[in-house]
Chain A
């Protein structure tokens, strides 16, 4: 029974209390770069969940045979192999999105969340717990991506997933899309607002 509770917390803690993006501040690069629209943000999130979960499982399975000195290289090779698979799959089945994401799929390799979880969790835990940890952290990352992508696409282009959301009558009455939201710096401000809201609610996360 105790085991079950810990598995649950492993899966759900990263969603808010220990979110990889806004609390641990890892993997910021891609959060900022791919969220101008909602669709690439979701695809990116799913790719990261898949890579994170499977690399966690693989590293956790071979954790006792990896020599400590070269563990970083081993981890990089495992992650790079998985990312290549994801990259080729996206090129085959979702070519437009993979063009939009350009180099950022490749950059999943150097996403700090992956290295962080592999070092901190998979090297010390059993495969099933590592799998849940990977899925949980991937979901925490995806949630932030989706929130940022949602606001940037809604305010910046008036659409969601490419469909018009802001009614035409608004534009006729003089409403204009906020072009600033499309530009990358606004992603930083949106993330800063998320951090603000979250730390205002959880006082123990605030920095001195």
Chain B
């Protein structure tokens, strides 16, 4: 029940884009048409679901203060938490590489449609951000990490597909002042959607 609550909250209330503005770079760059936006969204969701539990296990059994106690009592007061940034990004980068190789081997069609975006996911702030929030909030179990990762990913997917759909229409039907075209108007739309998403604040299941 608690995990379901976290899952739903991660999609709507703690939405990566509208509440924290993480992953904005690719959000702005790749949201020109719905199809590629959806592909990137799925890839990000997948990476979040994989890397969050991996980093959770790493954090609990290796990095946290006293986490090495399972090796023996003399390791009980080792605190490696200052290494967490480097370890997290290393996990994320290597996972991206693995996923890229797996997709290339087993599903070449998907690989060629995602091609350029897959390696870029390593530097998507939403992925590292998810791991850092996980560290900050002290999740109780690895399932919570899976649920939060899935929720954040789906929230990100929703946001990028919605904005891509709006931008497709805007490009054909509306007459925007020249200086605002492209980037400027996308910022304003995102802001308005962010305000709309605030109405989800306080939802609890």
Pick the interface stretch among A8-16, A80-88, A156-164, A167-175. A80-88
- CB neighbours (8 Å) of B22 from chain A are 29, 33, 107
Q: Is the CB of A110 within 8 A of B124?
A: yes
A167-193 at interface with B (beta carbon < 8 Å): 183-189, 191-192
Assembly CA distance A202 to B76 (angstroms): 61
- CB neighbours (8 Å) of B132 from chain A are 103, 106-107
Question: Could you show 6 A-B contacts with beta carbons less than 8 Å apart?
Answer: A33-B21, A76-B122, A103-B129, A110-B89, A110-B129, A185-B191
Q: Is the CB of B190 within 8 A of A188?
A: yes
A115 within 8 A of B: yes
- CB neighbours (8 Å) of A32 from chain B are 21, 24
B93 within 8 A of A: yes
Closest Cβ of chain B: how far from A37's Cβ, in Å?
A: 16
Closest Cβ of chain A: how far from B21's Cβ, in Å?
A: 4
Q: Is the CB of B23 within 8 A of A29?
A: yes
Cβ contacts B170-205/A at 8 Å (1 or 0 each): 000000011111111101101110110010000000
Which A residues lie at the B interface, using CB under 8 A?
Answer: 25-29, 32-33, 72-73, 76-77, 80-81, 83-84, 87-88, 102-103, 106-107, 109-112, 115, 183-189, 191-192, 195-200, 206-208
- CB neighbours (8 Å) of A186 from chain B are 191
Closest Cβ of chain A: how far from B130's Cβ, in Å?
A: 10
Q: Is the CB of A84 within 8 A of B188?
A: no
Q: Look across to chain A and name the residue whose beta carbon is closest to the beta carbon of B22.
A: A29
Q: Is the CB of A184 within 8 A of B184?
A: no
Assembly CA distance A186 to B192 (angstroms): 9
Q: Is the CB of A196 within 8 A of B85?
A: no
Q: Is the CB of A189 within 8 A of B187?
A: yes
Q: Is the CB of A28 within 8 A of B21?
A: yes
- CB neighbours (8 Å) of A206 from chain B are 178-179, 181
Contact of B184 among A73, A81, A106, A192 (CB under 8 A): A192
Contact of A102 among B23, B24, B89, B136 (CB under 8 A): B136
- CB neighbours (8 Å) of B192 from chain A are 185
- How many A-B residue pairs have C-beta atoms within 8 angstroms? Tell me: 130
Cβ contacts B116-151/A at 8 Å (1 or 0 each): 000100111101110011001000000000000000
Closest Cβ of chain A: how far from B123's Cβ, in Å?
A: 5
- Chain B interface size band reads 35 or more
- CB neighbours (8 Å) of B119 from chain A are 72
- CB neighbours (8 Å) of A187 from chain B are 21, 191
Q: Is the CB of B128 within 8 A of A107?
A: yes
Assembly CA distance A87 to B81 (angstroms): 12
- CB neighbours (8 Å) of B86 from chain A are 77, 80-81, 84
- CB neighbours (8 Å) of B152 from chain A are none
Contact of B183 among A77, A87, A106, A195 (CB under 8 A): A195
Contact of B85 among A87, A115, A189 (CB under 8 A): A87
**A83-B85 in contact given A29-B23, A29-B25 (Cβ < 8 Å):** yes
**A195-B89 in contact given A185-B18, A188-B194 (Cβ < 8 Å):** no
Q: Look across to chain A and name the residue whose beta carbon is closest to the beta carbon of B97.
A: A73
**A28-B191 in contact given A102-B136, A196-B184, A206-B178 (Cβ < 8 Å):** no
**A27-B194 in contact given A107-B125, A207-B181 (Cβ < 8 Å):** no
Assembly CA distance A183 to B86 (angstroms): 31
Q: Is the CB of B184 within 8 A of A199?
A: yes
Q: Is the CB of A208 within 8 A of B187?
A: no
Q: Look across to chain A and name the residue whose beta carbon is closest to the beta carbon of B86.
A: A80
- CB neighbours (8 Å) of B165 from chain A are none
Closest Cβ of chain A: how far from B155's Cβ, in Å?
A: 15
Assembly CA distance A77 to B24 (angstroms): 22
Q: Is the CB of A110 within 8 A of B128?
A: yes
- CB neighbours (8 Å) of A198 from chain B are 179
Contact of A207 among B21, B29, B182, B195 (CB under 8 A): B182
Assembly CA distance A26 to B120 (angstroms): 14
